[in-house]
């Protein structure tokens, strides 16, 4: 997706724009849909899941305020594309995926693209990944009725968590939570549509 289109739609973070230009999306989509890799829409990646629309990936990366010294947790690796974008703006990225086949494919794609600061973990992301907590930012790329409690607990002071929250996949809002000590400040960034978050704390 062209930088000018992203800018026009409100993506102004220089790091995010640079990442969107440098990460080859075609390396993160299955061979049968590479022709559509640069369309601004989600695409099927198997297991009934999708690689997110580029604009939404950029929006979430920008909304989470990730910077080059940050440790970031992503829930829902999917294709690995979102993790790749985050890896260009963060110091380290831990990404959790519940489908083992997707986790393996994403890990391979990230390695092939040379993004060495991403660790893909096969597991239930609603539990987060306490081993590497706290995180400066947490990006959840699947939607649910509430933010899983373990993720709030693993968000560091001053950190931002971004997640689509809503009762079903027709009516979700992109929610941003900022932690300031023991206080949580919540903001609604507008309507989005994501596949469901499925897990113990979903």
Catalytic residue list: 52
Q: How many residues bind ligand SAH (CB under 6 A)?
A: 26
Task: Check: CB of residue 191 under 8 Å from CB of residue 164.
Answer: no
Q: At what angle do helices 14-22 and 54-63 cross, to 10 degrees?
A: 150
Write down the residue that tokens 């309507």 correspond to: 191
> Applying CB under 6 A, which of residues 66, 142, 151, 192 lies at the interface with ligand SAH?
142
Told to check if 105 binds ligand SAH by CB under 6 A, we report: no
Told to check if 172 binds ligand SAH by CB under 6 A, we report: no
- Shortest CB 86 distance to ligand SAH, Å: 9
Residue (of 133, 69, 123, 82) closest to 99 by Cα position:
123
Scanning 4-12, 18-26, 118-126, 172-180 for contacts with ligand SAH by CB under 6 A, the matching segment is: 118-126
- Shortest CB 98 distance to ligand SAH, Å: 4
Per DSSP (E only), the strands in 26-146 are 43-46, 49-51, 71-75, 92-97, 118-122, 135-140
Told to check if 115 binds ligand SAH by CB under 6 A, we report: no
Told to check if 189 binds ligand SAH by CB under 6 A, we report: no
Scanning 18-26, 110-118, 122-130, 176-184 for contacts with ligand SAH by CB under 6 A, the matching segment is: 122-130
- Shortest CB 191 distance to ligand SAH, Å: 17
> Applying CB under 6 A, which of residues 25, 71, 88, 99 lies at the interface with ligand SAH?
99
Scanning 12-20, 43-51, 61-69, 162-170 for contacts with ligand SAH by CB under 6 A, the matching segment is: 43-51
Told to check if 50 binds ligand SAH by CB under 6 A, we report: yes
Residue (of 113, 64, 116) closest to 92 by Cα position:
116
Task: Check: CB of residue 10 under 8 Å from CB of residue 55.
Answer: no
Task: Check: CB of residue 20 under 8 Å from CB of residue 32.
Answer: no
- CA geometry: angle 196, 88, 126, nearest 5 deg: 25
Residue (of 127, 136, 108, 132) closest to 197 by Cα position:
127
Scanning 7-15, 97-105, 168-176, 184-192 for contacts with ligand SAH by CB under 6 A, the matching segment is: 97-105
- Shortest CB 182 distance to ligand SAH, Å: 26
Told to check if 51 binds ligand SAH by CB under 6 A, we report: yes
């Amino acid at each position: 997706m062209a930088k000018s289109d992203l800018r026009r739609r409100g993506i102004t973070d220089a790091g995010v724009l640079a990442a969107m230009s440098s990460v080859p999306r075609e390396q993160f989509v299955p061979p049968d849909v590479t022709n559509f890799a640069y369309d601004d829409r989600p695409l099927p990646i198997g297991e009934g899941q999708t690689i997110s629309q580029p604009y939404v990936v950029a929006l979430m990366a920008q909304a989470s305020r990730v910077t080059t010294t940050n440790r970031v947790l992503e829930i829902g690796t999917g294709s690995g594309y979102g993790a790749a974008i985050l890896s260009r703006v963060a110091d380290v990225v831990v990404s959790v995926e519940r489908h083992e086949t997707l986790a393996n494919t994403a890990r391979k794609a990230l390695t092939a693209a040379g993004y060495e600061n991403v660790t893909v973990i096969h597991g239930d992301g609603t539990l987060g990944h306490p081993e590497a907590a706290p995180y400066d930012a947490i990006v959840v790329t699947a939607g649910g009725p509430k933010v899983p409690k373990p993720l709030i607990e693993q968000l560091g002071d001053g950190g931002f968590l971004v997640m689509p929250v809503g009762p079903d996949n027709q009516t979700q809002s992109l929610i941003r939570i900022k932690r300031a000590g023991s206080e949580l400040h919540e903001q609604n960034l507008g309507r989005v549509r994501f596949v469901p978050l499925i897990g113990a704390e979903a």
